[in-house]
Structure 1
Amino acid sequence: MKAPLPPLLLLLLLGAQWAVGTGSLPACHYPPGMWCSSWEIAVACQVEKQCVEYYQRADAKPASLVQIELYYECLCGGCKEFLTSQLFPTWKMLKDIMNVTLVPYGNAQERNDSGKWVFDCQHGPEECQGNTIEACLMNLLASVDRYFPIIYCMESAVDVIKAVQPCLAIYQPELTTEKVMECANGDAGNQLMHQNALRTNALSPPHKFVPWIVVNGKHTDDLQRQALNSLFNLVCNTYTGTKPDACKTEKDHIHMNMDGVCLN
């Protein structure tokens, strides 16, 4: 058995529980802090079951958060739909059991021109600018709790670029549009996009379209289908720890099809 625990702790965890079942505390000659210090004492105090359950709970490793990575491009219709209708709402409800990683790059191509990276994006220069702005927001704000609502706001808008200023004003008014554009138009944004290119090009299997969804480091056709149909249910079913109350009711499937994806 393990070393003695604080008497008050064991009184709360074991003594009260025992009293509920029997109407009185056990007639043993050991203080509560010793009840789980050895198996002999646990038997003498009639708390064997409680001691075993307590140490099982204490030794249990916390469940790992479900890791969701989204590889996307800011002007792809399917990416916008998945981010706004599935990923962001799911994150808002289940952020305690999941982590979200956003990688804006998608089907872009990069080349090195005299030491500077030049990008060609599927939906033109505006998409390259939008991807870079979103990468800069992540870098400048660091926390997903701070930058994800802004990116959701931008992706919900008809014009992603024009939405930058009003979305910042709503969610992070202390960060100026000028500061974000300084990053996006400078070396910092260029390097951030290069890192996103490296990360996207290193995917295994290589991405064939976007949105490309990776769950706990894995991408399969089945995981992609489940994520597109109901990311909420997928996260709840994947999480191995105690389910939050939100997971007790399964959400309806959205049945997103492949029509909106942007092929590589």
Structure 2
Amino acid sequence: MKSAVFLLTFYFAGAYSEQLCDYPPSDWCSTWEIAKACKVEQQCIEYHSRKDFLKSNDPAVQVELYYESLCGGCRKFLVLQLFPTWLMLNEIMNVTLVPYGNAQEQNVSGKWEFTCQHGPDECYVNTIEACVMHHLKEIPSYFPVIFCIELSSNVTSALGPCLAAYQPDLSVKTVMDCANGDQGNKLMHENAMKTDALNPPHEYVPWVVINGKHSDSLQDRAMSALFNLICETYTGPKPDACSGKAVTPMKRDSVCLN
């Protein structure tokens, strides 16, 4: 897995909005020349030296997030809890993002039509994010883009700048052709089916599933200290990051009810 772990340092330093080099963060440790150009040589050495240690037969912690792109609580959880935790612990956790949430779908003349809790703009951004995931395939490639969109002050117009910053090889046109076409419609229907199949059924978003399970206690732990929860849940050798504690409390009322 390509690592985006070094973004965390720059993010908390307030420099996440600046171009640090001419390469996306996912490529910073791909070659020594790129590491030097991006001034992360030492971090890359440390990363590669611990990869073998962290290899384990113990399964990674599976984290599924069911969310809406314009839900304030969803955005806060993704930006302040899930993305920073993934940056530090991506070796021991797998993340699945399902943008749909409390939306409703209806088949009209063979095509799915969606009604979203926060209006048409939310359906629009949900579909854009689903298409970004579809085209970039792997979470190290698309998660920084989704994070960037959800962090933006204007979520509906964030696609272009976020692709330019993190995945310049993927064009806005390619994503929009997907979002406005049959592929985007199909992807959102698939997300609807995944969301509707939740057991227990979701009552609000963000709705967090850990290793296939959801409970009030797991949800509360995830909302208050996801980083600590992942470290405690993982049964293999703990990465160095787990020796500390990372807590960004969120109140349970930071949700969008179904």
Cα distance in structure 1, aligned partners of 2:166 and 2:91:
21
The aligned runs of 1:133-144 (5 Å cut-off) are 133-144=128-139
Cα distance in structure 2, aligned partners of 1:70 and 1:236:
18
Cα distance in structure 1, aligned partners of 2:224 and 2:164:
33
The aligned runs of 1:217-232 (5 Å cut-off) are 217-232=212-227
1:196 to 191, 195, 215: 191
1:257 to 228, 232, 251: 251
Instruction: For residues 91-141 of structure 1, give each alpha carbon's deviation from its aligned partner in whole angstroms, at most 9, with x where no partner exists.
Output: 000000000000000000000000000000000000000000000000000
1:85 aligns with 2:52: no
Equivalent residue, structure 1, for 2:57: 62
- Offset of 1:260 from its aligned partner? 2.1
Q: TM-score, normalised by structure 1?
A: 0.76
- Offset of 1:254 from its aligned partner? 2.4
- Offset of 1:160 from its aligned partner? 1.0
- Offset of 1:72 from its aligned partner? 0.1
Gaps of 5+ in 2: 1-55
Cα distance in structure 2, aligned partners of 1:130 and 1:158:
14
Amino acid at match of 1:255: P
Cα distance in structure 2, aligned partners of 1:260 and 1:242:
33
Cα distance in structure 1, aligned partners of 2:209 and 2:144:
21
Equivalent residue, structure 2, for 1:162: 157
Cα distance in structure 2, aligned partners of 1:206 and 1:133:
25
Q: Which has the higher contact order (CA 8 A, sep 6+)?
A: 2
Cα distance in structure 1, aligned partners of 2:69 and 2:227:
22
1:185 aligns with 2:186: no
- Offset of 1:162 from its aligned partner? 0.6
Cα distance in structure 2, aligned partners of 1:205 and 1:162:
34
- Offset of 1:154 from its aligned partner? 0.3
The aligned runs of 1:5-44 (5 Å cut-off) are none
1:72 aligns with 2:67: yes
Amino acid at match of 2:199: S
Amino acid at match of 2:224: N
- Offset of 1:179 from its aligned partner? 0.6
- Offset of 1:255 from its aligned partner? 2.2
The aligned runs of 1:96-115 (5 Å cut-off) are 96-115=91-110
Cα distance in structure 2, aligned partners of 1:137 and 1:167:
11
* Structure label with greater radius of gyration: 1
Amino acid at match of 1:261: V
- Offset of 1:262 from its aligned partner? 0.2
Aligned residue pairs total 204
Cα distance in structure 2, aligned partners of 1:259 and 1:245:
32
Q: CA RMSD in A?
A: 1.1
- Offset of 1:161 from its aligned partner? 1.7
Equivalent residue, structure 1, for 2:18: none
Cα distance in structure 2, aligned partners of 1:222 and 1:143:
30
Cα distance in structure 2, aligned partners of 1:77 and 1:101:
19
Cα distance in structure 1, aligned partners of 2:164 and 2:244:
35
- Offset of 1:209 from its aligned partner? 0.1
- Offset of 1:158 from its aligned partner? 1.4
Cα distance in structure 2, aligned partners of 1:249 and 1:174:
36
Cα distance in structure 2, aligned partners of 1:196 and 1:225:
24
